[in-house]
Amino acid sequence: MPSGMGNALEYFSAEEVERAGRYHRPRYVLLLVNLVLGLAVLAVLAFSWPGDRLDDALQRLGWAGAAAVWAAVVVVVLEAMRLPGAYWVGYLREHQYGFSRQSVWGWIGDQAKGLAVGLVLTVATLTVFVALARAFPSAWPLVAAPALALAVLVLSFVAPVVLEPLFNRFDPLEDEELAARLRGVADRAGVPVRDVLVADASRRTTKHNAYVSGLGRTRRVVIYDTLLAAGRPRELELVVAHELGHRRMRHVLKGTLLGVAGAVFFVVFLWGLLHWAALPAPSDPRVVPVVLFFGAVLELPAMVFGSALSRSWERDADRFSLELTGDREVYRATHLDLARANLSDLDPPRLLYVLVFTHPTPPARLAAAGV
């Protein structure tokens, strides 16, 4: 049991705890399987004869074509490996538990769009990486590090207006009275709100959510229409206050800057690794699966750090929402409703909680607020 829960599990029945665990445990197993198989596939492509054979076949494409195809092959192979498990967990079980409203073709369409985005970003990034290494053989880290950092920063700006609309439609909140109430919350929070948008999540799921994304002119608070349809304005005010807390404490900006720092660190790490180890040169397209393999390896400690930091930020936003609204009963009711609507894991395995949980558990959030 994660620390900080106190007796908050008493808010939930034994059946609710057991059902949530039954829903989530296969997802954790699949996460572990995908992690191990993903590293194994990357290692095979990066360091063994199948990768060498593929590299030989790509030589006739020239360095740019070979780098692009290498990146595309890795993305497609990893996606194909994960697809059966994703279908079972993300489609069949979501229907089994009454969450999914998608047809199988709708689900496939989302997977295809996600694959397309991954292909474009990965192919572009790694082809540019090889190009910079060829153009600046001895100084490529000095060029690649700021280039990758800039890419992370630009993506933070454009994702809300370019990538998010690929998966959902976003409309301004139409209920003028509710919009005025939420803007009143924003005024009390001292956070200027450019947009409060409603996402058409109900065509996919029954789950409730809200989030804040973007930087500068692209910052927005987004509310799922499923949450809006629940028709509880005071609870919605608390959820929005939580999201405004993230903006007030600049969590999105801080996360982006950490991403920028991580990009620079990764380039420096690659420079040392490729300089001292017997690995393909950064100007050789054969380096593409090597880069992706070590990126996946470094992602593991980064995931632990990122999850812990995210949980800390969520606790900060929880406190902010409670202080701003001053209503403990609404805070309690909101987190109980969200936990039940989303079938949140109420008592996850401790190790998995540390590794992958970006939010405190609902019992922990209730206990931390003393409600």
Pairing of strands 220-224, 196-199: parallel
Is position 314 within any domain?
yes
CA gap 307, 314 in Å, rounded: 10
Which residues is 205 bridged to in the sheet? 100
The pLDDT value recorded for residue 4 is 52
The pLDDT value recorded for residue 24 is 94
Is position 308 within any domain?
yes
C-alpha 248: how far from chain center: 21
**What's the chain's average pLDDT?**
90
Q: Which of 31, 100, 6 is nearest to 355 (CA)?
A: 31
Q: Which two tokens stand for residue 215?
A: 């930087």
Is position 213 within any domain?
no
Domain that holds residue 303: 8-170+246-369
Question: What is the DSSP secondary-structure string of 249-260?
Answer: TTHHHHHHHHHH
Could you give the angle at which helices 287-325 and 62-87 cross, rounded to 10 degrees?
A: 50
Strand order in the sheet with 170-172: 170-172, 196-199, 220-224, 210-213
Q: % helix / strand / coil in the chain, to the nearest 5?
A: 75, 5, 20
Is position 47 within any domain?
yes
Is position 257 within any domain?
yes
Q: What is the pLDDT of residues 194-235, one digit of tens each?
A: 778 899 999 999 999 888 777 666 677 888 999 988 878 888
Q: What is the pLDDT of residues 36-76, one digit of tens each?
A: 999 999 999 999 999 999 999 998 999 999 999 999 999 99
Q: What is the pLDDT of residues 160-205, one digit of tens each?
A: 888 888 898 989 888 888 888 888 888 888 887 777 889 999 999 9
List CB contacts of 47: < 8 A, sequence separation 6 or more: 290, 293
Is position 107 within any domain?
yes
User: Rounded mean pLDDT of 135-164?
Assistant: 91
Number of structural domains (the chain) is 1
Is position 180 within any domain?
no
